Amino acid sequence: MEDELVASGRFVRIEARGERTGLARRVTVGFVEDDEGPPGALLVAAGSSDTAWARNLVADPACRVRIGDRSFDAVAEPLEPAEHARAIRGLILRYGTPAEGLGHGPSFRLRPVAESTR
């Protein structure tokens, strides 16, 4: 099911290194495009500060992103408070009330560093 969500372009898959194990870990999350950031950047947010994928990105911001038929390497940049609020607002507008639990954890800009497949 998650593969179909990623293939549809409605959700993004993030692959990052586990903060404790160093092994590749994958998560599928909602996103919004960052219209005010660098070209191709996406905004994502965790529901709490102890969310594993968010801790992984804090420990090592290098990640791999897949959305639709596109994959690219990215760097996860923690958002400042104003950007965090914009990301949360965008996620709630895009995904509806289930996204209302967001905002208590960190949020990130996934900034592309190299496009590899289209």
Burial of 96 (0-12, 13-18, 19+ CB in 10 A): exposed
Confidence at 7, pLDDT banded by 50, 70, 90: very high
- Hey, is 107 helix, strand or coil? strand
* Residue numbers of the domain that contains 46: 2-117
Task: Express each pLDDT in 40-93 by its tens digit.
Answer: 999 999 988 889 999 999 999 999 999 999 999 999 999 999 999 999 999 999
Terminal-residue alpha carbon distance, the chain: 22
- pTM over 0.85, yes/no: yes
DSSP letter (8 states) at residue 25 = E
Q: How much of the chain is in helix, strand and coil states, percent to nearest 5? A: 30, 35, 35
* Number of domains making up the chain: 1
- For residue 100, the domain's CATH number is 2.30.110.10
